Structure 1
Amino acid sequence: MKQIQRPPRRGRTATRAFGALATAAALTVLAACGGQGGSSNGSSAAADPAAVQKATDATTALSAPPTFGLTDADKVDPAGAAGKKLWIIDISSSIPLVQVSDAATTQALGLVGATVKTYDGKGSVTEYTRGIQAAIADKADVIALYAIDPNLVAGPIQAAADAGIKVVVVQYGDPGAQLPKNVAAQVTYPYTDAGAAMANFIVSDAKGAAVGVEFISASDVSNSKAIVGGFQDTLKAACPNCSLTVDDVPVADWQTKITTQVNSTLGSHPDIKYVVPVYDGMATFAVPAIKTSGKKDVKLVSFNATKSIMQNLKDGDTVAADVGSPQAWEGWALADQFIRIVGGNPPLEDEKVGLRMFTAQNIGRIDLSAPESTWYGVDYESGYKKLWGVGE
């Protein structure tokens, strides 16, 4: 796989926090998945039928409702959580998905007598630090960093550890990923699987045709690397003659650069049939670019399942598929880790928060006016209540 990378602008660096005010210029990687002579255009040869069927089967399986994966062996006594305090330092409290998760955590911990305080990090390392300092001063029992790379605030995390406060990271990396020093646990999604799911959909939807794909990554987001890896590895294995163009756009540049970047890439790569922003927050700016390009055969595939992108999918507009990451479920999972930690129990390595693929085949059965928690068809709330022995 040949890669050509445009160096970032001088004097600018990108942070790895989701929503951080990164100022690195976008870089472009042209990756030819098995193409001839290092070309990014690939070959016209179709994918192996067996690979297409495998991708189709994987897409169908992920389109079904996920299951609650924790069992009676994971039961925990919540008595130790009563009167305890969780501080959540959000990457940015203005992000709707963050609000959904925070509200779910607050609801869940209210059942066991614990309280939640949230702090708006405003996409700033300075604010993350202030939030951690405020939590320490307030004698928090646990501090959760929501979508914030803990490596950016190693000093404040050390201060929390010195004060006897445990730190949990949310959306850091794949389950089982090695955690940084002084981080007790994480709550996350299988990001590599999410990337693979998007690639599988494309191979299946294109019926194995050697299509061009633009993938828009965000290297300043810690979990982006896993998504990119899962996508690239799966696409290369299933469709070695597909061509892949990867454009990296830091979070701070999404609003100003994604639309222009997509327009430019579609103009210079006429073989592209799919645009894949790594997050729905990027898709908001990619959709207009696809529309203005006049290329009606270009589809968008994304990750997160935010309401606006899901509505676009339901309307049969530009979005062809969206891999959903249930935010309210994630909020309950954070509550579960909190209960375990403050009760002196080991945290779970994997809370097993599931994903669901949404496509034209199942979006018609989803009521987008209902809470996000209903879109996934799994009663995780009852599952956690059973584990905790409350509210039944």
Structure 2
Amino acid sequence: MINKYSSLPAFVAPGPAFNASKLKGKKLFSIPASSSVAFVNQTDQDMGALARKIGINYIDYPNQQQESQWVQGMDQAVSQKVNAIDLLAGIPPESLNPQIAQAKAAGIPVLDTNERDKSQAVDPSVTAYTFAPFKLSGELMGAWAVKQTKGKAHVLIVTSNADISSAAVQAGITQEVHATCPSCTIQTTNVNPTSWATHLQSTVEGELAGNPNINYILPVFDSMALFITPAIQAANDTGKVFVASENGTPSVMNMIRTGNILTMDVGENLEDVAAAGLDQAMRIMAGMKPGNEVINVRVFDKSNINQAGNPVQGTKGYGNAYVTGFAKLWNEPTSIFS
């Protein structure tokens, strides 16, 4: 499994081709879950860059992951009479049902990008989802911990349950560890995104003090590793306790090369995420059926991290299949990705 997903991903067309240039002038309103999270912000910027090169008016609504801000963004989108609204990378649409109802009443479809796994229940008020491979990423994290410990993994899963996707990553880890290593142990702790900077390090330090058998920490999002690494160092557990995660945030992936705590990251190509979300939005704005979007992942460790650049770049290390694939699908030149 690790070997399979360490290779360059292939492109899978989500649906029939269309002429994206016919959408020139359409308004796509993006509400990212949090502009302060590197993965979310970079994906937002990449989607905006692609949309603008096609001629779509991409309206970004920066925020700091406050529900009141998301509500304000929805209100602003409706007042501007946009053609579609995209909830990007972590906003649960269930928290915005009144606003989504208002948007639909105004004839504005609401989309959800990279917020949940296809194995999870959907909100029927959402017009189309671009699912993320969260459960698969969790399975790969679990497989990695079992492989690296030679079947002697004592795992601490650090969840972040305010994000629905956290549950899918956790389910993938648990399923894989239990299936391949019945003698391995799993315990969990939760720290939500708004508390990462203030509580994540101390929470992990407490878990390590309470259970000295822990040898792998699997945070459900890789940005959490920025706070978990100093916890391991403070506990004098460097070389004993390791970390593997998922997302592919460039600043975090650099830690694979430069340190000896983060050993693996299941990377999502940020530009591929952006392209898949934009593809879905364009299909809906063009009156087409939703696409079956596929966001690919790749396992990065010390053996292949240099392929992602030095320092790591968000689009390097994933090959060019998605570039040629989406460009052909949209009848656009591949230069829109440069």
Name the TM tier (shorter chain). Answer: over 0.9
Which position in structure 1 is the counterpart of 2:180? 238
Q: Is the deviation greater in 328-337 or in 128-137? A: 328-337
Contact map agreement 1:77 1:343 (CA 8 A) in 2 = no
Q: Does 1:102 align with 2:44?
A: yes
Q: Is the 8 A contact 2:120 2:168 kept in 1?
A: no
Asked whether the 8 Å contact 2:34–2:41 carries over to 1, the reply is: no
The residue that corresponds to 1:218 in the other structure is 160
Amino acid at match of 1:342: M
CA distance in 1, matches of 2:122, 2:220: 23
| Counterpart residue number, 2:122 | 179
Say whether 1:160 aligns with 2:103. yes
RMSD: 1.6
Does the CA-based 8 Å contact 1:214-1:246 persist in structure 2?
yes
- Map of 1:290 onto structure 2: 232
**Aligned twin of 2:141:** 198
Deviates more, 1:170-179 or 1:250-259: 170-179
**Matched residues in 1 for 2:63 and 2:73: separation?**
7
Tell me which amino acid in the other structure corresponds to 2:198: T
Query: What SS class does the counterpart of residue 372 from structure 1 fall into?
Result: coil
1:104-135 Cα deviation digits (max 9, x unpaired): 22222234321100102321111101101101
Provide the secondary structure at the position in 2 that maps to 1:181.
Answer: coil
Shift of 1:82: 1.7
Unaligned runs of 5+ in 1: 1-57
Distance 2:242 2:313 in 1: 27
Deviation at 1:361, TM superposition (A): 1.7
What is residue 319 of structure 2 aligned with on the other side?
377
Task: Give the whole-Å Cα distance in 2 for the aligned partners of 1:110 and 1:211.
Answer: 47
State the Cα distance separating 1:329 from its structure 2 match.
1.0
- Indicate if the aligned counterparts of 2:254 and 2:311 stay in contact, CA closer than 8 A: no
Q: Does 1:129 align with 2:71?
A: yes
The aligned runs of 1:332-343 (5 Å cut-off) are 332-343=275-286
Amino acid at match of 1:315: T
- Partners of 2:254 and 2:312 within 8 A in 1: no
Aligned partner letter, 2:269: P
Find the partner of 1:68 among 1, 8, 11: 11
| Structure ID, larger Rg | 1
Cα distance change, pair 160–343 in 1 and its aligned pair in 2 (3 A): same
> For the Cα contact (< 8 Å) 2:250–2:313, is it kept in 1?
no
Q: For residue 211 of structure 2, what is the aligned residue in structure 1?
A: 269
Matched, 1:323 2:261: no
TM-score by length of 1: 0.81
Aligned equivalents of 1:327, 1:254: Cα separation in 2 = 22
Which residue identity lines up with residue 283 of structure 1 in the other structure? A
- Residue of structure 2 aligned with 1:248, choices 176, 187, 190: 190
Q: Deviations over 1:135-171 (max 9, x none)?
A: 1111110000112000011100100000000000122
Q: What does 1:344-355 correspond to in 2, within 5 Å?
A: 344-348=287-291, 350-355=292-297
Q: Distance in 1 between matches of 2:149 and 2:3?
A: 15
Listed as ranges, the gaps of 5+ residues in structure 2 are: none
Aligned residue identity for 1:261:
T
Distance in structure 1 (CA, Å) of the matches to 2:53 and 2:195: 40
Contact 2:156 2:214 in 1 (8 A): yes
SS where residue 91 of structure 2 aligns? coil
Paired with 2:157 and 2:34, the residues of 1 have a C-alpha distance of: 25
Match of 1:53 in 2: none
Aligned to 1:363: 305
Q: Which amino acid in 2 is paired with 1:223?
A: S
Residues 76 and 175 (structure 1), Cα distance of their counterparts in 2 relative to 1, 3 Å cut: farther
Match among 60, 81, 86 for residue 118 of structure 1: 60
- Are the counterparts in 2 of residues 68 and 353 from structure 1 also a CA contact under 8 Å? no
CA distance in 2, matches of 1:257, 1:227: 21
Q: Give runs of ≥4 in structure 1 deviating > 6 Å.
A: none
| TM-score normalised per structure 2 | 0.94
| SS of equivalent to 1:201 | helix
Q: Is the 1:104–1:329 Cα contact (8 Å) retained in structure 2?
A: no
Deviates more, 1:135-144 or 1:371-380: 371-380
